[in-house]
Amino acid sequence: MQPLIIALGRSDNHALLARHARAMGVEYFGCESFEVAELTRDIPALRVRLGSVADFRPVILAAIDESVSPSLLRTFAQTVEGVIGAAISLRTDPKFLEPKEAHNSGLDRDFLYLLSIARSPHGQISIWPAIRIDRDGSAQPIVDERSFTHDDAGVIDLLHEITTSIIDRQSQDGLVGLMNYVVDPIEKKVVRQVFGAASITFWSESACYTSATEQLIRSILDLPLGDAQLIDFEEFFMSEEFELPDGAISDPIRPFLHLFARNPRLKVSYLDDRRRCTISLYASSEDEGLSEMAHSRDFMFGIDE
Protein backbone atom coordinates (compact mmCIF):
# COMPACT_ATOMS: atom_id res chain seq x y z
CA MET A 1 0.00 0.00 0.00
CA GLN A 2 1.03 3.61 -0.50
CA PRO A 3 3.34 4.78 2.31
CA LEU A 4 2.98 8.08 4.15
CA ILE A 5 5.91 10.17 5.33
CA ILE A 6 5.23 12.54 8.22
CA ALA A 7 8.14 14.96 7.98
CA LEU A 8 9.00 17.47 10.69
CA GLY A 9 11.11 20.49 9.83
CA ARG A 10 11.30 23.94 8.28
CA SER A 11 8.94 24.97 5.51
CA ASP A 12 11.81 25.95 3.20
CA ASN A 13 12.91 22.30 3.14
CA HIS A 14 9.49 20.72 2.65
CA ALA A 15 8.97 21.79 -0.98
CA LEU A 16 12.00 19.92 -2.34
CA LEU A 17 11.49 16.88 -0.12
CA ALA A 18 7.78 16.64 -0.96
CA ARG A 19 8.58 16.75 -4.68
CA HIS A 20 11.03 13.86 -4.37
CA ALA A 21 8.65 11.85 -2.18
CA ARG A 22 5.70 12.22 -4.51
CA ALA A 23 7.85 11.35 -7.50
CA MET A 24 8.42 8.02 -5.73
CA GLY A 25 4.69 7.49 -5.22
CA VAL A 26 4.72 8.42 -1.54
CA GLU A 27 2.36 10.74 0.32
CA TYR A 28 4.18 13.50 2.19
CA PHE A 29 2.77 15.32 5.21
CA GLY A 30 5.05 18.17 6.25
CA CYS A 31 4.89 20.08 9.55
CA GLU A 32 6.96 22.91 10.97
CA SER A 33 8.02 22.74 14.62
CA PHE A 34 5.41 25.23 15.81
CA GLU A 35 2.70 23.21 14.02
CA VAL A 36 3.96 20.00 15.62
CA ALA A 37 3.71 21.56 19.08
CA GLU A 38 0.18 22.81 18.39
CA LEU A 39 -1.03 19.52 16.94
CA THR A 40 0.42 17.59 19.86
CA ARG A 41 -1.81 19.64 22.18
CA ASP A 42 -4.86 19.57 19.87
CA ILE A 43 -5.66 15.93 19.11
CA PRO A 44 -8.91 16.66 17.15
CA ALA A 45 -6.97 19.02 14.89
CA LEU A 46 -4.31 16.36 14.37
CA ARG A 47 -6.99 13.84 13.38
CA VAL A 48 -8.29 16.29 10.80
CA ARG A 49 -4.81 17.02 9.43
CA LEU A 50 -3.95 13.35 9.10
CA GLY A 51 -7.32 12.64 7.48
CA SER A 52 -7.73 9.05 6.32
CA VAL A 53 -4.24 8.08 7.41
CA ALA A 54 -5.51 4.59 8.20
CA ASP A 55 -5.58 4.01 4.45
CA PHE A 56 -1.80 4.41 4.29
CA ARG A 57 0.73 1.81 5.35
CA PRO A 58 3.38 2.09 6.50
CA VAL A 59 3.43 5.41 8.35
CA ILE A 60 6.97 6.78 8.60
CA LEU A 61 7.91 9.66 10.90
CA ALA A 62 11.19 11.54 10.43
CA ALA A 63 12.83 14.85 11.24
CA ILE A 64 14.23 16.44 8.09
CA ASP A 65 16.40 19.10 9.76
CA GLU A 66 17.63 20.17 13.19
CA SER A 67 14.77 22.63 13.87
CA VAL A 68 12.94 19.84 15.74
CA SER A 69 13.85 19.18 19.36
CA PRO A 70 14.40 15.60 20.58
CA SER A 71 11.59 15.88 23.15
CA LEU A 72 9.14 17.20 20.57
CA LEU A 73 9.96 14.35 18.19
CA ARG A 74 9.42 11.75 20.92
CA THR A 75 6.15 13.29 22.07
CA PHE A 76 4.78 13.68 18.56
CA ALA A 77 5.65 10.07 17.68
CA GLN A 78 3.66 8.82 20.67
CA THR A 79 0.77 11.15 19.84
CA VAL A 80 0.54 10.02 16.21
CA GLU A 81 0.57 6.37 17.25
CA GLY A 82 -2.32 7.11 19.60
CA VAL A 83 -4.29 8.88 16.87
CA ILE A 84 -3.89 6.20 14.20
CA GLY A 85 -4.03 3.29 16.63
CA ALA A 86 -0.98 1.58 15.18
CA ALA A 87 2.78 1.58 15.44
CA ILE A 88 4.76 3.89 13.17
CA SER A 89 8.32 3.69 11.86
CA LEU A 90 10.41 6.38 13.55
CA ARG A 91 13.33 6.96 11.20
CA THR A 92 15.15 9.69 13.16
CA ASP A 93 16.92 8.84 16.40
CA PRO A 94 16.29 11.85 18.69
CA LYS A 95 19.92 11.81 19.79
CA PHE A 96 20.95 13.27 16.41
CA LEU A 97 18.85 16.35 17.21
CA GLU A 98 20.53 17.00 20.55
CA PRO A 99 22.12 20.49 20.75
CA LYS A 100 25.82 20.45 19.92
CA GLU A 101 28.43 22.45 21.76
CA ALA A 102 29.17 25.55 19.71
CA HIS A 103 32.69 25.94 18.33
CA ASN A 104 34.25 29.33 17.66
CA SER A 105 36.77 27.76 15.33
CA GLY A 106 36.65 28.77 11.69
CA LEU A 107 34.94 32.12 12.20
CA ASP A 108 37.93 34.06 10.86
CA ARG A 109 38.91 31.58 8.14
CA ASP A 110 39.05 32.52 4.46
CA PHE A 111 37.41 29.23 3.63
CA LEU A 112 35.99 26.07 5.22
CA TYR A 113 35.22 22.60 3.91
CA LEU A 114 31.85 20.86 3.86
CA LEU A 115 31.28 17.10 3.99
CA SER A 116 27.76 15.69 3.53
CA ILE A 117 27.00 12.04 4.29
CA ALA A 118 23.74 10.08 4.05
CA ARG A 119 23.05 6.69 5.61
CA SER A 120 20.10 4.31 5.17
CA PRO A 121 18.56 1.99 7.81
CA HIS A 122 20.37 -0.91 6.12
CA GLY A 123 23.70 0.85 6.58
CA GLN A 124 24.30 1.98 3.00
CA ILE A 125 26.50 5.09 2.98
CA SER A 126 26.49 7.88 0.40
CA ILE A 127 29.09 10.67 0.36
CA TRP A 128 29.05 13.81 -1.78
CA PRO A 129 32.22 15.43 -3.09
CA ALA A 130 33.74 17.72 -0.47
CA ILE A 131 32.95 21.40 -0.95
CA ARG A 132 35.22 24.38 -0.33
CA ILE A 133 33.16 27.34 0.93
CA ASP A 134 34.90 30.71 0.70
CA ARG A 135 34.24 33.71 2.92
CA ASP A 136 32.20 35.39 0.16
CA GLY A 137 29.82 32.43 0.10
CA SER A 138 31.05 30.91 -3.14
CA ALA A 139 31.36 27.14 -3.19
CA GLN A 140 33.41 24.77 -5.31
CA PRO A 141 33.49 20.95 -5.27
CA ILE A 142 36.90 19.47 -4.56
CA VAL A 143 37.76 17.15 -7.41
CA ASP A 144 41.52 16.85 -6.91
CA GLU A 145 44.31 18.94 -5.46
CA ARG A 146 45.51 20.13 -8.87
CA SER A 147 42.48 22.44 -9.02
CA PHE A 148 43.50 24.44 -5.96
CA THR A 149 46.09 26.77 -4.54
CA HIS A 150 48.80 25.91 -2.03
CA ASP A 151 46.28 26.72 0.74
CA ASP A 152 44.58 23.44 -0.08
CA ALA A 153 47.70 21.31 0.08
CA GLY A 154 46.94 17.98 1.69
CA VAL A 155 43.20 18.60 1.63
CA ILE A 156 42.35 15.26 0.01
CA ASP A 157 44.22 13.28 2.67
CA LEU A 158 42.73 15.42 5.46
CA LEU A 159 39.16 15.04 4.27
CA HIS A 160 39.62 11.34 3.60
CA GLU A 161 40.85 10.84 7.17
CA ILE A 162 37.96 12.83 8.65
CA THR A 163 35.40 11.10 6.39
CA THR A 164 36.61 7.65 7.45
CA SER A 165 36.29 8.64 11.11
CA ILE A 166 32.80 10.05 10.54
CA ILE A 167 31.58 6.94 8.72
CA ASP A 168 32.81 4.69 11.51
CA ARG A 169 31.09 6.82 14.15
CA GLN A 170 27.79 7.22 12.31
CA SER A 171 27.63 3.51 11.53
CA GLN A 172 28.06 2.74 15.22
CA ASP A 173 25.51 5.40 16.22
CA GLY A 174 22.96 4.22 13.63
CA LEU A 175 22.44 7.45 11.71
CA VAL A 176 19.46 7.37 9.33
CA GLY A 177 19.23 10.41 7.11
CA LEU A 178 21.67 13.16 6.25
CA MET A 179 24.44 14.81 8.28
CA ASN A 180 26.63 17.72 7.17
CA TYR A 181 30.05 18.47 8.67
CA VAL A 182 31.95 21.76 8.46
CA VAL A 183 35.72 21.25 8.65
CA ASP A 184 38.24 23.89 9.75
CA PRO A 185 41.29 23.62 7.43
CA ILE A 186 43.63 25.09 10.03
CA GLU A 187 42.60 23.06 13.07
CA LYS A 188 41.97 20.07 10.79
CA LYS A 189 38.79 18.99 12.57
CA VAL A 190 35.01 19.17 12.40
CA VAL A 191 33.84 22.44 13.96
CA ARG A 192 30.13 22.19 13.22
CA GLN A 193 27.62 19.55 12.25
CA VAL A 194 24.17 20.13 10.80
CA PHE A 195 21.52 17.41 10.70
CA GLY A 196 19.32 16.98 7.65
CA ALA A 197 18.47 19.27 4.77
CA ALA A 198 19.99 22.74 4.84
CA SER A 199 20.85 25.56 2.47
CA ILE A 200 24.45 24.31 2.37
CA THR A 201 23.24 21.12 0.62
CA PHE A 202 21.23 22.80 -2.15
CA TRP A 203 24.28 22.97 -4.43
CA SER A 204 23.80 19.24 -5.12
CA GLU A 205 20.35 19.68 -6.74
CA SER A 206 21.74 20.22 -10.23
CA ALA A 207 25.37 19.22 -9.79
CA CYS A 208 25.08 15.57 -8.69
CA TYR A 209 23.38 12.45 -9.98
CA THR A 210 21.44 12.31 -6.70
CA SER A 211 20.85 15.41 -4.60
CA ALA A 212 21.02 15.55 -0.82
CA THR A 213 17.26 16.07 -0.54
CA GLU A 214 16.43 13.11 -2.79
CA GLN A 215 18.91 10.97 -0.87
CA LEU A 216 17.26 12.01 2.40
CA ILE A 217 13.89 10.78 1.11
CA ARG A 218 15.47 7.52 -0.08
CA SER A 219 17.03 6.94 3.34
CA ILE A 220 13.72 7.64 5.09
CA LEU A 221 12.03 5.08 2.82
CA ASP A 222 14.96 2.64 3.20
CA LEU A 223 15.46 2.54 -0.56
CA PRO A 224 18.85 1.98 -2.21
CA LEU A 225 20.79 5.23 -2.22
CA GLY A 226 21.72 6.92 -5.49
CA ASP A 227 25.08 8.02 -6.84
CA ALA A 228 26.06 11.28 -5.10
CA GLN A 229 29.02 12.07 -7.35
CA LEU A 230 29.27 15.02 -9.74
CA ILE A 231 27.46 14.50 -13.05
CA ASP A 232 29.77 13.63 -15.90
CA PHE A 233 28.22 15.62 -18.72
CA GLU A 234 30.19 13.65 -21.29
CA GLU A 235 28.00 10.64 -20.50
CA PHE A 236 25.01 9.77 -22.62
CA PHE A 237 21.73 10.98 -21.07
CA MET A 238 18.35 9.42 -21.85
CA SER A 239 14.84 10.16 -20.61
CA GLU A 240 11.49 8.62 -21.50
CA GLU A 241 7.93 9.27 -20.36
CA PHE A 242 5.22 6.62 -20.73
CA GLU A 243 1.83 5.51 -19.45
CA LEU A 244 1.68 2.55 -17.09
CA PRO A 245 -0.84 -0.22 -17.76
CA ASP A 246 -3.65 -0.68 -15.26
CA GLY A 247 -2.59 -2.78 -12.29
CA ALA A 248 1.08 -2.73 -13.19
CA ILE A 249 2.11 -1.15 -9.87
CA SER A 250 0.48 -2.45 -6.70
CA ASP A 251 3.25 -1.22 -4.39
CA PRO A 252 4.62 2.10 -5.73
CA ILE A 253 8.07 1.90 -4.13
CA ARG A 254 8.70 -1.80 -4.80
CA PRO A 255 10.21 -1.26 -8.29
CA PHE A 256 12.78 1.12 -6.83
CA LEU A 257 14.24 -1.61 -4.63
CA HIS A 258 15.41 -3.34 -7.80
CA LEU A 259 15.96 -0.46 -10.20
CA PHE A 260 17.83 1.86 -7.82
CA ALA A 261 20.03 -0.99 -6.61
CA ARG A 262 20.79 -2.03 -10.19
CA ASN A 263 21.66 1.46 -11.43
CA PRO A 264 22.37 4.22 -8.85
CA ARG A 265 22.34 6.85 -11.64
CA LEU A 266 18.79 6.01 -12.72
CA LYS A 267 15.67 7.94 -11.70
CA VAL A 268 12.01 6.95 -11.90
CA SER A 269 9.38 9.59 -11.23
CA TYR A 270 5.63 9.04 -11.09
CA LEU A 271 3.33 11.56 -12.76
CA ASP A 272 -0.45 12.01 -12.66
CA ASP A 273 -1.13 9.92 -9.56
CA ARG A 274 1.11 7.09 -10.80
CA ARG A 275 -0.71 6.66 -14.12
CA ARG A 276 2.36 7.93 -15.95
CA CYS A 277 6.04 7.97 -15.11
CA THR A 278 9.39 9.06 -16.46
CA ILE A 279 12.65 7.15 -16.45
CA SER A 280 15.92 9.00 -16.88
CA LEU A 281 19.46 7.67 -16.75
CA TYR A 282 23.10 8.28 -17.60
CA ALA A 283 25.15 5.70 -19.48
CA SER A 284 28.60 5.40 -21.02
CA SER A 285 27.11 4.77 -24.47
CA GLU A 286 23.83 4.95 -26.34
CA ASP A 287 23.63 1.15 -26.53
CA GLU A 288 24.09 0.84 -22.78
CA GLY A 289 21.45 3.52 -22.21
CA LEU A 290 18.93 1.82 -24.51
CA SER A 291 19.51 -1.52 -22.78
CA GLU A 292 19.05 -0.01 -19.31
CA MET A 293 15.94 1.86 -20.43
CA ALA A 294 14.38 -1.29 -21.91
CA HIS A 295 15.01 -3.26 -18.73
CA SER A 296 13.63 -0.48 -16.51
CA ARG A 297 10.54 -0.02 -18.68
CA ASP A 298 9.82 -3.76 -18.66
CA PHE A 299 10.23 -3.88 -14.89
CA MET A 300 7.79 -0.99 -14.40
CA PHE A 301 5.35 -2.75 -16.73
CA GLY A 302 5.63 -5.91 -14.62
CA ILE A 303 7.21 -7.88 -17.47
CA ASP A 304 10.64 -8.51 -15.88
CA GLU A 305 9.81 -9.63 -12.33
What are the domain boundaries of the chain? 4-97, 111-221, 236-300
Task: Give 151's pLDDT tier (boundaries 50, 70, 90).
Answer: low
Check if 111-221 and 236-300 are the same fold.
Answer: no
pTM of the model: 0.91
Pair 76, 49: CB distance under 8 Å: no
Please state which CATH number belongs to domain 236-300.
3.30.1370
Candidates 254, 212, 250, 209; CA nearest to 230 is: 209
CA pair distance 26, 24, nearest whole angstrom: 6
Poorest-pLDDT segment among 70-74, 78-82, 250-254: 250-254
Q: Please, what is the average pLDDT of the chain? A: 88
Instruction: Give a three-class secondary structure readout of 86-147.
Output: CCCEECCCHHHHCCCCCCCCCCCCCEEEEEEEEECCCCCEEECCCEEEECCCCEEECCCHHH
Residues facing residue 132 across a β-bridge: 113, 140
Confidence check: pLDDT of 144 > 60: no
- Give the pLDDT score at 150: 43
Pair 37, 226: CB distance under 8 Å: no
CATH 3.40.50 matches 4-97? yes
| Per-residue pLDDT tens digits for 168-221 | 888 888 999 999 999 998 888 899 999 999 988 989 998 999 999 999 999 999
Instruction: Assign domain 111-221 to its CATH superfamily.
Output: ATP-grasp fold, B domain (3.30.470.20)
Write the CB contacts of 145 (distance below 8 Å, at least 6 apart in sequence): 152, 153, 154, 155, 156
Of residues 209 and 151, more confidently modeled: 209
